[in-house]
Amino acid sequence: MRVCIKTYGCQMNVYDSAIMAGLLLDKGYEITEDMNEADVVLLNTCSIRQKAEDKVYSQLGVLKKLKKERPSLILGVGGCMAQREREKIFRRSPSVDLILGTHQICNLPTLLNEVIRERRKVIAIKEEKISQKGVKACRKDKTKVYVAIMRGCDNHCTYCVVPSARGRQRSRPPEEVIKEIEELVEEGYKEVTLLGQNVVAYGRDLGGIDFVDLLERINEIEGIEKIRFITSHPRDMSDRLIETLPRLSKACEDLHLPVQSGSNRILKAMNRGYNREEYLKIIEKVRSLIPRISITTDIIVGFPGEGEKDFTDTLSLMKEVRFASAYMFKYSSRPGTPAEKMLDQIPEEIRLKRLHEVIDLQREIIKNNSHLRKEVEQ
């Protein structure tokens, strides 16, 4: 049978899709890029913003028509949206056959076989420990590669669905991570990007090892030429990590460090765990040790209660830091998050206006700084 996996959202979903494809190939399935020729279509979804979920429901509408033409077609929904929406997906899209939660990806072949054999709908969202031991991912990119070193998050930012969608932080054993990277080197990969919802907090749940220790071990792997990592939480950017990075010969001179807002009042409401001054101090120290480092970020505008001064604080921080690039979003209310219940929700037209302003400012920053522009183009 031919399976098409369509991926939405972050790099972690890209990584999970590669694991799904590897598991299915091992069981005799074929992987195809064409939904029209597939016997099974799996949507690996994102739930970070409403727009991401709307895209999935729109795609399911298209697939519903395809299934009318080919009733044997099997439709599955996995990822964060599946974990959170669960039965709601079945209600809105009755043509879906399988709901696969974020903790169940390694059970995909068994669950899919159950759908095929018994011709009934299956929902699997129970939280279980994900073991990737012996799992060979099927990756599209043959030069650089993502490796998840942890899953879940313990930070509980008030706007974020990750803790409810992916659970608490669970770091992979270092030996398992090292072995996976060594096997990737044998396949010819030379560049690795380490993934985690808060990658710099790696090892906190293991004891005896932290992210710096893991980086040092990976830096020693013969054959790896470049090491990157995402995403880093400013609260966990330790001095030890900052001071170690320049000494790692394979660590790339780039850092993604989401600030989200330049306003202390909004940062507190977001439960980010740092303030503007602390963030700028991190930037100053990083640049003093790695002068040509490329720093990128995430910015949310229109968070509940964000006044004009709060927004101006974000603009001024952008001008001060001069980010090489930024992922910029207007706040999207997510069901079940504390921010959803906050008073003073910002009207859509104001959120959109502020989003355009930060986008225009970021473009201007890059345009007027040739050093940043070169880093972005690379």
CATH number at residue 201: 3.30.750.210
Cβ–Cβ < 8 Å for 135, 22:
yes
Same domain, 277 and 247: no
pLDDT at 375: 41
Same domain, 73 and 95: yes
- Residue 241 in any domain: the answer is yes
Same domain, 262 and 376: yes
Q: Which of 234, 252, 270 is the last residue of a domain?
A: 252
pLDDT at 312: 98
Same domain, 313 and 237: no
Same domain, 212 and 279: no
Taking the C-alpha atoms of residue 332 and residue 348, their distance in angstroms, rounded to an integer, is 10
Taking the C-alpha atoms of residue 178 and residue 149, their distance in angstroms, rounded to an integer, is 10
Same domain, 282 and 320: yes
Taking the C-alpha atoms of residue 134 and residue 27, their distance in angstroms, rounded to an integer, is 13
Side-chain half-sphere of 93: how many Cα atoms within 13 Å?
A: 26
What is the residue type of 31? I
Q: Provide the whole-model pTM.
A: 0.88
Residues paired with residue 302 on neighbouring β-strands, in sequence order: none
Peptide linkage before 7 cis (omega within 30 of 0):
no
Same domain, 241 and 292: no
- Residue 129 in any domain: the answer is no
For the chain, 378 residues long, the average pLDDT of each consecutive 10-residue run is: 94 92 94 94 92 93 94 95 90 95 92 92 82 74 88 93 89 94 94 96 93 98 96 96 97 97 98 98 97 96 98 98 96 94 96 98 88 42
- Supply the DSSP symbol for 30: E
Same domain, 353 and 297: yes
| CATH for 76 | 3.40.50.12160
**Domain span holding position 106:** 2-124
- Residue 68 in any domain: the answer is yes
- Residue 31 in any domain: the answer is yes
Beta strands (DSSP E) in 159-218 are 170-171, 191-195
Number of domains in the chain: 3
- Residue 76 in any domain: the answer is yes
Taking the C-alpha atoms of residue 68 and residue 83, their distance in angstroms, rounded to an integer, is 26
pLDDT at 203: 95
Same domain, 260 and 248: no
Cβ–Cβ < 8 Å for 354, 330:
yes
Q: Which of 229, 252, 275 is the last residue of a domain?
A: 252
Same domain, 244 and 264: no
Cβ–Cβ < 8 Å for 83, 125:
yes
Taking the C-alpha atoms of residue 274 and residue 236, their distance in angstroms, rounded to an integer, is 10
Q: Which of 66, 91, 124 is the last residue of a domain?
A: 124
Same domain, 155 and 197: yes
What is the residue type of 220? E
